[in-house]
Structure 1
Amino acid sequence: MNRGVSLSAMLAHPSWHDVTLLAGPEDSRAVQRPVVAQDLAHPLPEEPADRLLVLLGGADRGDWRLDALLRRAHGAGVAALLVPGVTALRMSSTLLAERLRLPVLGSPDPLAAYLALERMTAEPGLLRAESTLRTAQVCARADETVDALLTDLGELLHRPVALITADARHLAGDPAAVTPAEQDTVARQLTGPPLPRPLDLPSGARLLTHPVGTERARPRLAVRLPARLAPEADAVAAALEVASGAVRERLALRRLDLERSARHRTSLLGELLRPAGGEIPDAVRRHAVEFGWRLDGWHTGIRIGTGPDVDVAGLRAEVTDAFAAERLGGQVVEQGDGWSAWTSTDQEPSTSDIERHAAAVRRVQRRLPEVLHAYVGVGRAHPGPTGIARSLGEAADAARLAQGREASGRFFHVDRLGLAQLLLAWTRTDTFQPAARSLLEPLSGEPGDLVRTLTAYLDAESSTAETAAVLGVHRNTVAARIARVQQLLSVDLADPDERLALHLACRTAVDG
């Protein structure tokens, strides 16, 4: 028996983009190979049951013989009728099709629709072979970038094509392949060995995936299909098998470029931070200019630390994108377990400039992927080429302190570094710790983790917005918690002495 396909799936296929349902139900009944009738008066072909009857001509919408054909087709078990044109049927024909539950389709080119269904049902092997050949041609002539290849592949398949991570995050291509709401569902289905597999989506669509490489953490090619159409799925799977090799090759070339550029940046920064004889050689200055690094003016260093297993070179683009999103024009260099960065200004920044800059760097930190668990330190502004090294050194000290400071959002500015170290030393004395615990005792057991909220609030210099960002809650929630703290402790946070005492006590609770 010929292989049948779903009528609703065919209506969602690109080859039937101009086919319209004129009357009757749009259901998922299986349609076998199509058969042809020349006109309304033409006898029905032999064995038309469960097949699409294609009327090539003589489909006058006002002709009574169209209603007669509907009755004859229904009596013969025809699955659906395709007529020329897409104008509406007359009311009597529409009601008859509804009563008979016989789908009536229209197309400006019924012969093309016939041929598309014929190939889908009778020649699925040919579809797969053509898909393989055309994909190979696309891979051969596409640009060397992954995005260009995925764009060309999407145009060939007429479907969203993307490259996703093993946990379903978007890397390249069409974001419509996997929506953010579907990411968790797809990630759960991608667990296990990296094998080609179809995934069912909550919307009823299907996602075909193919690994790019054999390692479990390797990315996957993904194509979104709106309906279950087995011949199309087979053809797309063949396309992905061919394309995966081309994508893997482009990723390898891009990786080589990334690592080469990272080595050059890291090496140049090392020469800048450790100049021979205390002076920066002319060759280093020239290379810095070639990289677009500014050496004059005032520089503020930023250190972004992360875990040892993070792909620092591969994720640099996300860091630079975060800086650009906050309009922080600066340089980002891969260094150790993280990135060293700095921004430059013509004049020495004022106090308000420093505060705005620190707030912008905090926002950069929040833009970074959560999987990085980034901790950030910011240095002071220093002038000239040697100022870059001085500020980055301060930023590294601040970052080391920030690494263990969850209450501050794992963020520290060097201007607070000296006070922070003094407070930490004071809060570790044997006489202060019992008093601090007693002072904060009324907050224990209260909902909302009031000690942590108070600590973050004092670290943020009473900024509810900044505290809300650190804690991941609404600013109204912070305000309500702080009001509750003042009520429970009978304190006035506007009083500097009471603020200092509470800040010391909170440091004991958090760090001790």
Structure 2
Amino acid sequence: MSMTLSNLLAFGFLPGHEVVTTGDLAHRVVRSVVAVSAHDEIAGLRPGEFAVLDHTRFAASDPNLAGTIVRAASQGASGLLVNGSADQLPATTRELVARSGLPLVLTGQNVDVRRLVTAMDRFVRSPDLPDAALINTVSHRLCSTVSDAEGMVRVLSTTLRCRVGLLDAEGRLAVGNLPAEVVRSQAFRRACGPSAGGGGHTQQVRALDDDSLLIIQPVRLGPTGPLNLRLVAVVPNGPVAYARTTSVSLSVAAWAFVAHLATVAVVLERQQQPRAGLLARLLAEADAPSSEVLEQATAAGWRLGGRHTGVHVRATGHEPTGMAVRYRLRAALEARDLAADPVPRDDGWVVWFTDLDPDEDGTLLRTMRGVLLDVERSCPGVRMCAGVGVPGNGTGGLRDSLQDARRACTMAAARNVAGAVERIGASSVKRLLSDQHATPSQVDLAERLLLPLTSADMSGYLTITLSCYLDNESSATATALSLGVHRNTVLARLDRIRTLLDVEMNDPDERLALHLATRLVHGGAPTGGWEDVVAAEHGVSSPSDTPRRVRD
């Protein structure tokens, strides 16, 4: 049976490749695969040879590639592989490809030419059909016995008699018998590690060394599901039928495992509370998640690979219930094209966004403030606040980002304004104000500095006004808008604050000391909104005399 260029490219040696041709690849016979490292070697090509051009000597953008195409076509070559993309081809090169009929295959990867040529040439020279009986055995055993990742990998490994493993999004071995030296090798990390960008959405075949191939099969729940899991098998770079059988078997296994994940997804959809427990387990095992956690997280639709930005959201007030707030929060996020399902966590909910571009990241605080204000408008009596964490990579980065977000949310709550959002940067001064870095002596000093205010005003409205005033860059007008009171009320309070503290607000050092003190003393969540402050000032009962935090 002859190997065609269509079959060769379909096997997965070149993930993400492009083909420029006017002919039918199914009728282009490939008899061998050779490496070409210099222009004069093109003249030595024989009919039916597929030439892999050295990326250090040839490129799609090179105008001289046109002459190479003409000579290869005259020699009867079956095609050329060159580094680059189709949009880099000059117009003259495209015209020559069209006239010559020679297929030009382009790849954006700087491939290891020697290993690629060896693997592809062996595949071409032995075009045997896969063992249908063995594939049927694999399919039967998977459908009848597999109920988790460990069972799937065990069936594949014992039936195919090769090393098989299940990897997470960061290339860590979750379950399987892949040798430790293979997992640590540079070739494996390039093909399966975080830098591989998830490894692509279709099956790939990579040369591990001169004697072994890696077959990598993504496992994802639906075309838009997260790519958290990959099946990997190590097979000899020899009998092509064996490699093909393993390739087809991994595809069958992926479909069987997706069916299992769909069942898990239905259970998670019916029961919301397990999501909170699942997230707790994921964060606890962030450095090396178990296969069970990876399965459930994938079934839940959570993306685990990439650069995550965590957000912690909190609500205070009497009504409505936490479930209603969560529903409104999810709707407000969707209205701003932020696809995220809030997960209950500690004293609120968390969401995270993955691989935000610089513009999205730069506007995230403003976007989240709009989300919170939408929720407050739809849930009267509820005050929302949120914190945004420092972006981090993988599950470990997600854990750290959510921890940062929770501390930032605590600082946002202390501002006591509608839709407050804070972000603690990796080297931000705000990090010094978070609970993680505040020492008891610092808090004690801050409390003594503000003691005249807290002693004279048990309701706390003077301290809250001072904090809000300093947060709003000493603008009485902005402070009045944030607190929902008249500007004259703010000015009267500021006069009393100056009298009680005996400070000069125009002095930058004293102003900074007061700002730090208010943040340290009021770093926790406020006990009520500005309505309570106004009510206390005028001596009337507040609608939230016994405020409580909204929870699920």
TM-score (structure 1 length as normaliser): 0.37
TM-score (structure 2 length as normaliser): 0.35
Task: Point out which structure has higher relative CO (alpha carbons under 8 A, 6+ apart).
Answer: 2
Larger radius of gyration: 1
